[in-house]
């Protein structure tokens, strides 16, 4: 019976029964302290007593929440107070049991964070432990406050700037983290990783980010578990979470496509881009990112809760880690290049390079796992190093007087001779170095081959527990010795230490020494249960391979006899992994059209699909001569080798070096499989390779073969340790880092964030070279990945420094909003008021679209590949402008209003200010009521001529705010405005006027110069209606990939099979109960007569059943019709990636025939060419969907869901708006494209803003919309539709969006909320439009990046898939229909299903939007331009007539 700490379930908010009791005014049914009757037992109510009011509790609840209850030990065991979890080591517990906590308070571990030092009051520094604004006010802004005050005051500005750039690459989305918004420490601790390593090495950044709990929570690999673990412990066929595996490649290292070093794309022989990786690699790496969990919490952290330590690097729970080989991105395995564990020198723990880490008085290992009972076992047999031991001497490290100087880590510098019992030990775990001071042996990084010869059966403890197979050459089990014909076994009493492992041969020798033999035993006698582990038997094993339909394999162990096989290697296991077949592979006839009778009968055809094959392993020599080059070695050898100096003297006696390759030969031999080659690659990494290759061949047909895959993790549970998982993680991080793409990919990202949006190939290559060489000029360590060298290249390369490039119309970038605010604040010397010590900016994200730590998605604030629409010079040149994605009228108005407010009133909330404090909203020189104000000024010395003074002021302001780029024309405009103000209000008011005007110039908002033409910039014309009946299309993007197979679910199916049952069996713990579904009216064209919708879809169901809504099923991006065998070559679109699939859904132009345009923009263009006045609006953010062809229509207007804010409500002069327009007048063709876009945007934004402010300020709605993101967007859409008359609109297209659908974790909980919010928004929108009598003129269509996998991952979540189910609704929709083909087989064997339930669409977006365009009134002759790819779909019945979708 086990004892657990149940405090977690004693909290008010964790157990449902506690919450019910609290609402009833009763005490918690689950208590923290035991009852007065001394009962300490909690009975898990799986089957409550008859008449009990306690509902049955399924065991699933224990499985799901079990990790929240620390196991303390077995009932009746003795445990030391120090071994209790931190949360249990309280004074109350200590006092009750007669122990002491060792302090006067409830002490817990208080280790420091990196860089944390003790306070030194003599330095006069202070740390504000409580927010100046109070303990419960403004804490949600505290992390931003920390950022800005460092950015404004710190002396290491370049370091902080680089860290901010990195934070936009290695993004953590704050809303994805399960802590309250007022928490700060975890976020600043994450940012500190980037600050610390800004000039360090990118490898360190990748590792620290990968181990950071915020990143794990953000990208949902926290507590991700392997398929084997989920099946063994929960009987679920779940898969590893793929989120981080995808994004660490796409966003943090390699990008999507192969790159040359200058950043240009590599192409294949057909001119197509080459993928850097495929979904196979994502699934492989996902298995590697299993096993990560929070460290134990400690007391000196802000977030000291039961829900995890979000500050310290995560630990690895080895039992959760996937144990099987993982392929990499370059055709190999993670583990290639590492030595085989079987090839390590004998007694490696005494050899050169062996490492030890100090444990102190603790005698249980940390990188390996011992049974918990050993912690309190006073009889435990330790490996005590004897007097005279060379190892003991090395660990002691005695000083000149003989006192041991024990080091935290020790690495042996030479081979040591063994002493006493050391000579009988095959390996070590923990050694007693004297005085009960312990060191843990750290075995070197090595790999195992998945297949090997002469496998032997091992049994875990006794026959009734599991059996497995093990490599006899590895010390992985203990001896089990029987007398002849006996099945009761004993360990040799002279075994050296508990938990000792030995090789098979050693086990046999120890049995012989007892007069016994290895045996196929039933149980071990005279040994405590916790001291038993895996034990060698005399039985042999067969290693078989199960091959699935795509050639992936699963290991099967088959001992000659066994009672129970461990589930992850038994015949039913589904632990498939990719191998590299040399040619064909066995294929079952039932798996597809290309079956070969399982290799022409050499393998067994399985009834469930796949083939079962016996295997042989063959080793062969690779080189019989010296290799001709380093590249030849690297391309042909994959098995690593250990340092030859660690072997006994004379083992490797000769060496030869030719062609930069050194060969080490065994004594008396030439080129054999044991020869070792040593080379250095282009990145200065040294490798040793064994001159060997191993292949696995199917017995009966040697042509069916593949390379023997390697793996750090052992298939044997007890040998699959946290230490090996850490090595595997390091190998993966190295693979990302040293990939040829990483240097140019990161170079482009850093240049874009710090210098220019469109760097030249030469510039990218120079920065990439600095990264790979580790040096730029004389800056850098000379080590690959040096961020200092990269940063130096970024800011010192000619394209960054050459002033003549300021005149290049296409060199430059927009300045980010945060940088604009810090430039203004720092340049003009912002100073806190007397009542506060810090500068506070509040709610910047909502106002200007950017704020530190406040990201909406992992793609940061700006998309690196974003190209403005074709009406701009940048768009016409097909260049990118990442910051333009956030450039919209509402945020521009808010940004300028906020900066104006700071200049005039100090930091306050006056007229759109950036602080929540009201202050004094009168423009004067009194800033006493503001939280801070700008103190820069240049007093006017009266004898000085006013014009001279004005020139000096504007010149200095130009230097501070525009880096001196202000054009002569704009300089004079600002100077004249200063002179006009000077005699009327004094130099301070004139100074404020000049600053405000400069803040509107293109030179401030971009890094370019401008060449004014002297002509006024044209403002957008007022649209005029043609009088045709109004229509509107509303696109709703469900960002992140909606789980739409839980939106539309099979319900009643009387055909060949019960589709709901199949749905339930495939979806497992993310399936919706049938009784919870809302039934839809029957349909006649699908695999089921009736479908149901999510229980939160009440409005959706009502609209479907009333005829206002239909579904498009299994719909998505299709380049052409395809199948599961051809999709990979039929599809140009980058599948399964958020940004590319969102763009594809918005553009519906997979072949890029209408480059730079979106589907709504092309529909709008076609309608405009008919003479109609068509508006285009995107709510909150810009959208690719609304972009049209250059010259046909003005750019789409971006609206804020909360309405329109008046611009500059209290101007400093009556003619200020006129002056601002002069500063942004039209320019010559040679002027900067970025500065031109800013001025054009500002002119349009101000005109549009004024027009919409006047129009919308009088518009109201009759329906109460929920206070939620999408509802507010659709409320704004409803107001815009209501204003169609005032706007002169014949038609409109709208783009709106809602994020949060990337549900890699806790899908059911998250989608319950999300779908409920969607349904409420749809219902309110319909109600409002019906009330306004316009419902029949509007069509709303939902789209998403993709659907989710039908099969869940180990976090009760789902990953990226493809085809999904999308609704179309409106008064003209011919509702109650399901268009397209719902899949008739949801298993992976289905014709339309890829792995894990990724549905291949049967209906492309073209079908949806063709019908919609026809309803909208577009001419059929325009359809090929609206849908550039429509001619690809030649099957006549592929298309759904518009009259079937709409009431035309």
Model pLDDT, residue 104:
36
Mean pLDDT of 1264-1288: 94
Model pLDDT, residue 45:
60
Mean pLDDT of 1049-1075: 93
Per-residue pLDDT tens over the stretch 825-867? 999 999 998 888 889 898 898 889 899 988 888 888 898 988 8
Per-residue pLDDT tens over the stretch 44-61? 565 555 555 556 665 556
Per-residue pLDDT tens over the stretch 982-1033? 999 999 999 999 999 999 999 999 999 999 999 999 988 888 888 899 999 9
Residue 76 has pLDDT above 90, yes or no: no
- The pLDDT confidence band at residue 177, using thresholds 50, 70 and 90, is confident
Mean pLDDT of 516-531: 94
- The pLDDT confidence band at residue 18, using thresholds 50, 70 and 90, is low
Per-residue pLDDT tens over the stretch 1228-1260? 999 999 999 999 999 999 998 888 888 888 889
Mean pLDDT of 582-600: 93
Mean pLDDT lowest among 1111-1120, 1182-1191, 1254-1263: 1182-1191
Per-residue pLDDT tens over the stretch 1287-1298? 999 999 999 999
Mean pLDDT of 671-694: 97
Per-residue pLDDT tens over the stretch 127-164? 444 455 554 556 778 888 899 999 999 999 999 999 99
Residue 120 has pLDDT above 60, yes or no: no
Model pLDDT, residue 265:
96
Per-residue pLDDT tens over the stretch 223-239? 999 999 988 887 778 88
Judged on CB neighbours under 10 Å (0-12, 13-18, 19+), 674 is middle
Residue 1406 has pLDDT above 50, yes or no: yes
Per-residue pLDDT tens over the stretch 357-372? 999 988 999 999 888 8
Model pLDDT, residue 305:
56
Model pLDDT, residue 1132:
78
Residue 1441 has pLDDT above 60, yes or no: yes
Model pLDDT, residue 19:
52
Q: Is residue 1266 within 8 Å of residue 1320, measured between CB atoms?
A: yes
- The dihedral over CA atoms of 147, 151, 157, 160, expressed in degrees to the nearest 10, equals 20
Residue 325 has pLDDT above 70, yes or no: yes
**Better-predicted residue by pLDDT, 136 or 734:** 734
Model pLDDT, residue 1238:
95
Give whole-number Cα distances, 204 to 199, 210, 783, 786, in Å: 11, 10, 12, 10
Residue 85 has pLDDT above 70, yes or no: no
* Residues sharing a CB contact under 8 Å with residue 1356, sequence separation 6 or more, in sequence order: 64, 1069, 1070, 1305, 1306, 1307, 1308
Q: Is residue 1380 within 8 Å of residue 1074, measured between CB atoms?
A: no
User: Largest alpha-carbon pair distance within the chain?
Assistant: 117
Model pLDDT, residue 233:
84
Q: Which residues are bridge partners to 619 per DSSP? A: 694
Mean pLDDT lowest among 347-351, 442-446, 575-579, 1147-1151: 1147-1151
Residue 25 has pLDDT above 60, yes or no: no
The sign of the CA dihedral 1218, 1222, 1223, 1229 is positive
Model pLDDT, residue 127:
44
* Residues sharing a CB contact under 8 Å with residue 207, sequence separation 6 or more, in sequence order: 729, 730, 733
Residue 1103 has pLDDT above 90, yes or no: yes
Round the average pLDDT of the chain to a whole number and report it: 89
Model pLDDT, residue 1198:
85
To the nearest 10 degrees (0 to 180), the angle between helices 157-167 and 185-196 is 110
Give whole-number Cα distances, 1104 to 195, 395, 1372, 1374, in Å: 54, 76, 13, 10
- Euclidean distance between CA atoms 734 and 712, whole angstroms: 14
Model pLDDT, residue 49:
55
Model pLDDT, residue 622:
97
**Better-predicted residue by pLDDT, 55 or 1090:** 1090
Which has the closest alpha carbon to 167: 212, 126, 137?
Answer: 212
Q: How many Cα neighbours within 13 Å face the side chain of 1244?
A: 19
Per-residue pLDDT tens over the stretch 277-291? 999 999 999 999 999
Mean pLDDT of 756-779: 97
């Amino acid at each position: 019976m086990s004892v657990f700490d149940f405090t977690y379930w004693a909290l008010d908010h964790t157990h449902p029964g506690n919450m019910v009791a609290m609402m009833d005014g009763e005490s918690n049914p689950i208590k923290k302290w035991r009852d007065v009757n001394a009962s300490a037992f909690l009975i898990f109510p799986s089957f409550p007593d008859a008449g009990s009011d306690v509902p049955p509790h399924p065991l699933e609840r224990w499985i799901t929440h079990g990790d929240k209850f620390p196991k303390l030990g077995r009932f009746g065991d003795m445990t030391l107070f120090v071994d209790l979890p931190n949360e249990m080591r309280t004074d109350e517990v200590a006092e009750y049991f007669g122990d002491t906590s060792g302090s006067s308070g409830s002490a817990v571990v208080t280790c420091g964070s990196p860089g944390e030092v003790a306070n030194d009051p003599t330095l006069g520094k202070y740390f504000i432990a409580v927010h100046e604004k109070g303990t419960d006010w403004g804490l949600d802004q505290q992390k931003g406050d920390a950022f800005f005050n460092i950015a404004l005051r710190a002396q290491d500005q370049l370091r902080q700037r680089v860290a901010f750039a990195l934070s936009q690459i290695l993004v953590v989305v704050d809303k994805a983290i399960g802590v309250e918004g007022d928490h700060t420490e975890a976020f600043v601790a994450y940012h500190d990783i980037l600050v610390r390593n800004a000039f360090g090495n990118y490898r360190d950044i990748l590792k620290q980010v990968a181990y950071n709990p915020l990143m794990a929570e953000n990208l949902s690999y926290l507590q991700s578990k392997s398929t084997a673990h989920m099946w063994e412990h929960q009987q679920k066929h779940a898969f590893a979470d793929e989120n981080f595996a995808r994004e660490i490649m796409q966003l943090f290292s390699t990008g999507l496509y192969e790159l040359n070093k200058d950043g240009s794309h590599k192409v294949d022989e057909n001119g197509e881009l080459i993928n850097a990786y495929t979904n196979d690699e994502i699934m492989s790496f996902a298995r590697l990112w299993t096993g990560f969990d929070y460290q134990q919490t400690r007391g000196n952290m802000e977030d000291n809760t039961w829900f995890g330590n979000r500050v310290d690097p995560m630990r690895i729970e080895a039992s959760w880690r996937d144990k099987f080989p993982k392929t990499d991105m370059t055709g190999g395995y993670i583990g290639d290049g590492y030595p085989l564990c079987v090839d390590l020198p004998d007694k490696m723990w005494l050899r050169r390079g062996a490492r030890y880490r100090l444990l102190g008085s603790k005698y249980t290992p940390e990188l390996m796992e011992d049974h918990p009972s050993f912690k309190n076992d006073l009889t435990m047999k330790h490996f005590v190093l004897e007097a005279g031991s060379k190892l003991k001497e090395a660990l002691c490290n005695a000083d000149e007087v003989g006192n041991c100087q024990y080091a935290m880590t020790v690495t042996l510098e030479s081979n040591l001779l063994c002493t006493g019992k050391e000579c009988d030990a095959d390996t070590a775990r923990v050694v007693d170095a004297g005085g009960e001071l312990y060191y843990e042996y750290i075995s070197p990084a090595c790999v195992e081959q998945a297949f090997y010869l002469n496998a032997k059966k091992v049994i875990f403890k006794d026959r009734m527990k599991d059996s497995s197979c093990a490599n006899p050459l590895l010390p992985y089990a203990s001896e089990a010795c029987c007398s002849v014909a006996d099945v009761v076994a004993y360990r040799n009493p002279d075994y050296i230490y508990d938990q000792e492992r030995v090789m098979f041969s050693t086990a046999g020798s120890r049995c012989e020494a007892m007069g016994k033999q290895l045996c196929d035993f039933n149980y071990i006698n005279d040994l405590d249960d916790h001291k038993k582990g895996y034990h060698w038997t005399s039985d042999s094993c067969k290693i078989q391979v199960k091959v699935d339909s795509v050639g992936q394999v699963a290991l099967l162990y088959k001992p000659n006899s066994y009672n129970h096989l461990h589930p992850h290697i038994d015949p039913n296991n589904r632990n498939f992994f990719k191998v590299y077949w040399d040619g064909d592979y066995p294929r079952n006839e039932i798996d597809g059209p290309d079956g070969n009778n399982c290799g022409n009968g050499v393998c067994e055809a399985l009834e469930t699909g796949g083939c079962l094959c016996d295997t042989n392993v063959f080793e062969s020599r690779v080189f019989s001569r010296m290799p001709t080059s380093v590249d030849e070695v690297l391309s042909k050898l994959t098995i690593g080798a250990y340092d030859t100096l660690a072997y006994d003297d004379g083992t490797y006696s000769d060496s030869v070096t030719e062609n930069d390759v050194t060969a080490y030969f065994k004594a008396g031999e030439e080129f054999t499989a044991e020869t070792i080659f040593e080379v250095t690659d282009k990145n200065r990494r040294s490798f040793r390779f064994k001159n060997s290759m191993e292949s696995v061949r199917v017995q009966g047909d040697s042509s069916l073969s593949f390379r023997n895959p390697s793996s750090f993790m052992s298939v044997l549970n007890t040998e699959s340790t946290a230490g090996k998982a850490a090595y595997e993680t390091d190998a993966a991080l190295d693979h990302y880092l040293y990939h040829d793409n990483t240097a140019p990919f990161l170079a482009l990202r850093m240049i874009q964030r710090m210098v220019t949006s469109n760097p030249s190939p030469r510039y990218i290559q120079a920065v990439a070279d600095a990264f790979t060489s580790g040096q730029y000029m004389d800056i850098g360590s000379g080590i690959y990945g040096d961020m200092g060298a990269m940063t130096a290249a970024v800011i010192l390369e000619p394209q960054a420094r050459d002033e003549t490039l300021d005149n290049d119309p296409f060199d430059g970038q927009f300045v980010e909003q945060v940088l604009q605010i810090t430039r203004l604040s720092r340049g003009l010397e912002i100073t806190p008021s007397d009542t506060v010590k810090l500068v506070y900016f509040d709610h910047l994200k909502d106002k200007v679209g950017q704020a530190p730590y406040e990201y909406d998605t992992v793609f940061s604030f700006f998309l690196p590949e974003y190209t403005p629409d074709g009406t701009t010079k940048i768009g016409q040149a097909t260049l990118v402008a990442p910051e333009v994605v956030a450039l919209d009228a509402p945020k521009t108005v808010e940004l300028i209003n906020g900066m104006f407010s700071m200049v005039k009133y100090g930091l306050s909330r006056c007229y759109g200010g950036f602080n929540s404090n009201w202050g004094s909203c009168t423009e004067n020189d009194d800033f006493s009521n503001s939280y801070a104000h700008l103190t820069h000024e240049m007093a006017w010395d009266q004898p000085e001529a006013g014009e001279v003074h004005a020139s000096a002021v504007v010149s200095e302001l130009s230097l501070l705010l525009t880096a001196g780029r202000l054009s002569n024309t704009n300089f004079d405009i600002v100077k004249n405005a200063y002179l006009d103000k000077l005699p009327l209000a004094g130099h301070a008011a004139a100074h404020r006027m000049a600053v405000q005007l400069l803040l509107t110039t293109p030179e401030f908002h971009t890094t370019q110069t401008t060449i004014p033409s002297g002509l006024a910039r044209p403002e957008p014309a007022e649209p005029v209606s043609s009088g045709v009946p109004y229509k509107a299309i509303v696109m709703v993007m469900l960002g992140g990939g909606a789980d739409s197979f839980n939106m539309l679910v099979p319900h009643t199916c009387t055909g060949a099979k019960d589709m709901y049952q199949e749905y339930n069996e495939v979806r497992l713990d993310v399936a919706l109960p049938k009784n919870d579904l809302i039934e839809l009216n029957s349909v006649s064209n699908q695999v089921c007569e009736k479908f149901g919708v999510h229980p939160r879809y009440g409005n959706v169901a009502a609209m479907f059943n009333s005829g206002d809504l239909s579904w498009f099923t299994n719909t998505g991006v299709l380049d052409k019709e395809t199948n599961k065998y051809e999709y990979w070559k039929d599809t140009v679109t980058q599948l399964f990636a958020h940004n590319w699939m969102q763009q594809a859904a918005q553009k519906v132009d997979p072949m890029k025939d209408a480059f730079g345009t979106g589907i709504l923009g092309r529909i709008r263009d076609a309608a405009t060419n008919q003479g109609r006045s068509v508006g285009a609006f995107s709510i909150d953010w810009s959208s690719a969907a609304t972009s049209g062809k250059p010259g046909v229509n003005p750019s789409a207007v971006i609206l804020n869901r909360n309405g329109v804010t008046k611009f500059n409500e209290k101007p400093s002069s009556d003619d200020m708006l006129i002056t601002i327009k002069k500063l942004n007048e039209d320019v010559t063709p040679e002027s900067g494209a970025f500065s031109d876009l800013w001025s054009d945007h500002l002119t349009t934004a101000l005109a549009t803003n004024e027009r919409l402010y006047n129009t919308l300020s009088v518009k109201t709605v009759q329906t109460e919309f929920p206070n939620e993101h999408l509802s507010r967007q659709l409320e704004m859409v409803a107001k815009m539709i209501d204003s169609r008359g005032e706007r002169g609109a014949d038609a409109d297209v709208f783009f709106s969006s809602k994020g949060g659908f990337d549900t890699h974790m806790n899908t059911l909980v998250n989608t319950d909320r999300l779908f409920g919010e969607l349904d409420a928004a749809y219902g309110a929108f319909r109600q409002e439009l019906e009330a306004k009598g316009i419902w029949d003129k509007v069509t709303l269509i939902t789209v998403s990046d993709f659907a989710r996998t039908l099969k869940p991952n180990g976090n009760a979540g789902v990953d990226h898939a493809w085809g999904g189910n999308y609704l179309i609704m409106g008064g003209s929709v011919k509702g109650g229909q399901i268009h397209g083909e719902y899949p008739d087989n949801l298993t992976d064997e289905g014709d339309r299903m890829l792995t894990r339930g990724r549905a291949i669409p049967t209906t492309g977006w073209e079908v949806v939007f063709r019908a919609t365009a026809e309803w909208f009134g577009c001419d059929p002759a325009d359809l090929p331009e609206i849908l550039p790819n429509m001619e690809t779909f030649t099957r006549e019945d592929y298309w759904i007539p518009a009259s079937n979708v709409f009431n035309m």
